């Protein structure tokens, strides 16, 4: 019998999956939560074989929980189950040595199959992500440029950005100019849009 814990903040999916997994003879759902902190508390107590973790949850993300599982050297195998194929998330998950990384864009049978496979020691990554890994646009901005862009994203004007980062206004404009040139745009708005679609921001 494989014991499974489910952390998923969308109740509809949480309850549907719980019931579905329970129907399998070799699986038993020992608990579930809709936020990361509750999940982590439960996991320490229940030590299930597998923990299915959504990434975007209140309080703690699924990746945070996976990190904690690894740090505590627990035997519970984390399976990340998330909506979108975002490179940054995937890389963090690989570093946290998750047992599987699945997209919600695949059928529930895939999840059930994945649970059984990770119990045999296999590691499973959604193929979309592995392909993406090679082609992913990585952030060309320096830390300093990112700090300026983040401040700009808050809607602050040049002077306020300068004050916030203890720079002169001219330097801030220079950074912004450098950012625009790297991203091939000509305004804060466009730069922010690009940074956002590439998930460098927010």
Partner DNA sequence: ACTTTCAAGTGACATTTGTCATATAACCAA
Partner DNA sequence: TTGGTTATATGACAAATGTCACTTGAAAGT
Contact positions toward a second copy, by CB under 8 A?
A: 10-17, 19-20, 23, 81, 83, 103-109, 111, 152-155, 157, 185-190, 192-193
How long is the chain? 202
Taking CB within 5 to 8 Å according to partner kind, which of DNA, a second copy, none is near residue 175? DNA
Q: How far is the CB of 188 from a second copy (least distance, A)?
A: 6
At 46, list the tokens. 């229940």
Query: Looking at 3-11, 22-30, 71-79, 156-164, which segment touches DNA (CB under 7 A)?
Result: 156-164
Separation of alpha carbons 179 and 150, rounded Å? 12
Taking CB within 5 to 8 Å according to partner kind, which of DNA, a second copy, none is near residue 184? none
At 5, list the tokens. 């814990």
- At residue 142, the 3 state secondary structure works out as coil
Taking CB within 5 to 8 Å according to partner kind, which of DNA, a second copy, none is near residue 105? a second copy
- At residue 6, the 3 state secondary structure works out as strand
One residue of 180, 193, 198, 199 binding DNA per CB under 7 A? 180
176 binds DNA (CB under 7 A): yes
163 binds DNA (CB under 7 A): no
Q: Are 145 and 175 in contact (CB under 8 A)?
A: yes
Q: Are 156 and 147 in contact (CB under 8 A)?
A: no
Partnered with residue 160 across adjacent β-strands are: none
Q: How many CA atoms lie within 13 A of 167 on its CB side?
A: 19
171 binds DNA (CB under 7 A): yes
Which spans of this chain sit near DNA (rule: CB under 7 A)? 142-145, 157-159, 165-168, 170-171, 173-177, 180-181, 186-189
């Amino acid at each position: 019998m494989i014991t499974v814990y489910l952390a998923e903040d969308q109740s509809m999916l949480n309850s549907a999956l719980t019931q579905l997994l329970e129907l399998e003879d070799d699986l038993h759902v020992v608990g579930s939560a809709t936020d990361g902190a509750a999940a982590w508390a439960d996991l320490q107590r229940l030590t299930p074989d597998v923990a299915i973790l959504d990434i975007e949850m209140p309080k703690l993300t699924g990746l945070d929980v996976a990190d904690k599982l690894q740090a505590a050297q627990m035997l519970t195998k984390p399976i990340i189950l998330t909506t979108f194929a975002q490179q940054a998330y995937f890389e963090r998950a690989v570093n946290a040595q998750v047992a599987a990384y699945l997209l919600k864009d695949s059928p529930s049978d895939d999840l059930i199959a994945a649970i059984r496979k990770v119990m045999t020691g296999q590691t499973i990554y959604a193929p979309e992500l592995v392909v993406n890994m090679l082609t992913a646009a990585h952030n060309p901005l320096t830390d300093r440029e990112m700090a300026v862009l983040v401040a700009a994203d808050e809607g602050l004007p040049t002077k306020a950005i300068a004050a916030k980062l203890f720079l002169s206004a001219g330097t801030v404009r220079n950074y912004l100019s450098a950012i625009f040139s790297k991203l091939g745009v000509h305004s804060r708005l466009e730069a922010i849009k690009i940074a956002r679609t590439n998930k460098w921001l927010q």
